[in-house]
């Protein structure tokens, strides 16, 4: 039986090769063995995101944010996963936090601003 670390390494290698779907398998097993590992959960979130499984990816990134509230990348990825599901109101706080934690990252600001614009469009359409 493989250890969580071996599964993480295997999944990370698949992730680096761009095989997001295959990476989810060992990374899910690693997460199940070590649910408190932010490193494993972030990698699994990246694999799920790449596999376009945004709801599941959001869950993994939310778990990372809960354990590591200053992890700007996890906030950003959580926001993006929510944004890609059309959940802009939920995406705004993590995207805003990512931009606040790393103000030099223009990509964080761009996606935050896109969510704000989407919310404003929704508000004006409802009026």
pLDDT (tens digit per residue) in 3-14: 999 999 999 999
pLDDT at 127: 64
Residues 100 and 80 in one domain: yes
Question: Could you tell me the residue range of the domain that residue 112 belongs to?
Answer: 57-127
Residues 64 and 125 in one domain: yes
- Quote the pTM value: 0.94
* DSSP codes of every residue in the chain: ---HHHHHHHHHHHHHTT-HHHHHHHHHHHHHH-TT-HHHHHHHHHHHHHTT-HHHHHHHHHHHHHH-TT-HHHHHHHHHHHHTTT-HHHHHHHHHHHHHH-TT-HHHHHHHHHHHHHHHHHHHHH-
| Domain total in the chain | 2
| Mean pLDDT across 108-124 | 93
Residues 77 and 34 in one domain: no
């Amino acid at each position: 039986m493989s250890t969580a670390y071996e599964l993480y390494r295997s999944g990370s290698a698949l992730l680096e090769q761009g095989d997001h779907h295959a990476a989810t398998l060992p990374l899910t097993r690693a997460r199940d063995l070590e649910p408190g590992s932010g490193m494993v959960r972030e990698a699994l979130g990246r694999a799920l995101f790449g596999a376009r499984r945004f709801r599941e990816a959001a869950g993994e990134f939310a778990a990372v944010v809960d354990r590591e509230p200053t992890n700007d990348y996890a906030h950003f990825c959580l926001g993006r996963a929510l944004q890609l599901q059309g959940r802009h109101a939920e995406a705004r706080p993590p995207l805003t936090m990512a931009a606040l934690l790393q103000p030099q990252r223009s990509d964080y600001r761009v996606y935050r601003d896109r969510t704000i614009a989407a919310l404003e469009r929704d508000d004006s359409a409802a009026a």
